[in-house]
């Protein structure tokens, strides 16, 4: 039996990652804060695929939560073959006006917890000479993002870390893929208080969650290091390399303002 651990599994991309991996025969290990949502998802997976998911209720925005999760997995004697680091959130607004408690929780979840989970589970995967890690970043990783400065910086970290790790563990038979979606139909924008910004109104960029997930898993199991889903997202991410930095900053700021 192969287990896939998915963080942030209760909604959006995380929920669809769990369903898609169950469809591929993985037994999902579902991790998020909401026990009720996880139990509902586990019931759905049981009905559709006949698989008994493992539910772990854990707030990964808290310090040392990655170690607590890893120990829980080891106590259950589960061997994680696929890790999807999907949990994360964004904050909109001027950095100095936002609560730093919230901003530091963003760093904890998007950066520190993700890095620690990679560190812990990579040790097992390297020892087994087999395993897959999908780190969910964003097209935000490719540029600065005024009015979401900390979020964009966190995703740049995920991209850089993932690329480095991918090269480090390649010879051990382990795959690390950095997945960089653009705007996606999930609860992300509601949580970040971004439903009225110009970016959300650019509907041609917004992709469906399951479509994005299928592209991400295909990239992971094809052993690709980086994947940006959607041709428009790919072009926009690459265009940053050739555009003046001052222009990139101004466009990003405009997209995060209310229209």
DSSP 195-253: TTBHHHH-GGG-B-HHHHHHHHHHHHHTT-SEE--SHHHHHHHHHTTTS-HHHHHHHHH
- Determine the average pLDDT of the residues in 173-190: 84
- Position 200 scores a pLDDT of 53
**Pairing verdict, β 27-32 and 3-7:** parallel
The answer to whether residue 242 scores a pLDDT higher than 90 is no
Q: What is the pLDDT of residues 23-59, one digit of tens each?
A: 999 999 999 999 999 999 999 999 999 999 999 999 9
- Determine the average pLDDT of the residues in 235-243: 77
- Position 256 scores a pLDDT of 65
Tokens at 69, concatenated: 């999760």
- C-alpha to C-alpha distance for 13 and 87, rounded to whole angstroms: 9
Range(s) of the domain holding residue 122: 3-256
Gyration radius of the chain's alpha carbons: 18
The answer to whether residue 68 scores a pLDDT higher than 70 is yes
Q: Which residue has the higher pLDDT, 237 or 62?
A: 62
* Residues acting as catalytic residues: 151, 155
- Determine the average pLDDT of the residues in 178-183: 95
The answer to whether residue 204 scores a pLDDT higher than 90 is no
Helix, strand, or coil (residue 123) = helix
Q: What is the pLDDT of residues 210-223, one digit of tens each?
A: 999 999 999 999 99
- C-alpha to C-alpha distance for 120 and 64, rounded to whole angstroms: 12
Which residues, in sequence order, are bridge partners of residue 30?
6, 55
Q: What is the pLDDT of residues 127-176, one digit of tens each?
A: 999 999 999 999 999 999 999 999 999 999 999 999 999 999 999 999 99
Which CATH number covers residue 151?
3.40.50.720
- Position 81 scores a pLDDT of 98
Which of left, alpha, beta for 129 (phi over 0: left; psi -120 to 50: alpha)? left
- C-alpha to C-alpha distance for 99 and 201, rounded to whole angstroms: 27
Residue 210 CB-density burial (10 A; 0-12 exposed, 13-18 middle, 19+ buried): middle
The answer to whether residue 201 scores a pLDDT higher than 60 is no
| Residue 186 DSSP code | S
If residue 35 lies in a helix (H) or strand (E), which one and from where to where? helix 35-49
- Position 237 scores a pLDDT of 80
Q: Which residue has the higher pLDDT, 23 or 247?
A: 23
- Position 233 scores a pLDDT of 85
Q: Are 166 and 223 in contact (CB under 8 A)?
A: no
- Position 71 scores a pLDDT of 98
- C-alpha to C-alpha distance for 107 and 112, rounded to whole angstroms: 6
With bands split at pLDDT 50, 70 and 90, how would you rate the model's confidence at 232?
confident
The number of folded domains in the chain is 1
Q: How high is the mean pLDDT of the chain?
A: 91
- C-alpha to C-alpha distance for 118 and 35, rounded to whole angstroms: 24
**Pairing verdict, β 54-57 and 174-179:** unpaired
- Determine the average pLDDT of the residues in 59-81: 98
- Determine the average pLDDT of the residues in 78-93: 96
């Amino acid at each position: 039996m192969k287990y896939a651990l998915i963080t942030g599994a209760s909604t959006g991309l995380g929920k669809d990652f769990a369903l898609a991996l169950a469809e591929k025969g993985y037994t999902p290990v579902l991790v998020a804060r909401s026990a009720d949502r996880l139990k509902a998802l586990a019931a759905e997976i049981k009905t559709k695929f006949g698989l008994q998911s493992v539910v772990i209720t854990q707030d990964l925005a808290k310090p040392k939560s990655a170690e607590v999760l890893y120990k829980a997995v080891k106590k259950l004697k589960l061997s994680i073959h696929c890790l999807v680091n999907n949990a994360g959130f964004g904050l909109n607004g001027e950095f100095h006006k936002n609560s730093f408690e919230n901003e530091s929780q963003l760093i904890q979840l998007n950066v520190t917890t993700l890095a620690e989970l990679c560190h812990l589970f990579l040790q097992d995967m390297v020892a087994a000479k087999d395993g897959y890690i999908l780190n969910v970043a964003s097209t935000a990783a490719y540029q600065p993002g005024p009015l979401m400065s900390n979020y964009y910086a966190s995703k740049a970290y995920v991209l850089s870390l993932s690329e480095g790790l991918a090269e480090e563990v390649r010879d051990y038979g382990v795959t690390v893929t950095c997945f960089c979606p653009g705007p996606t139909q999930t609860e992300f924008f509601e949580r970040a208080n971004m439903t009225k910004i110009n970016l959300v109104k650019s509907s041609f960029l917004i992709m469906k969650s399951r479509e994005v997930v299928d592209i991400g898993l295909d990239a992971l199991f094809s052993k690709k290091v980086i994947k940006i889903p959607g041709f428009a997202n790919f072009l926009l991410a690459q265009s940053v390399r050739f555009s003046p930095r001052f222009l990139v900053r101004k466009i990003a700021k405009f997209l995060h303002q209310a229209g």
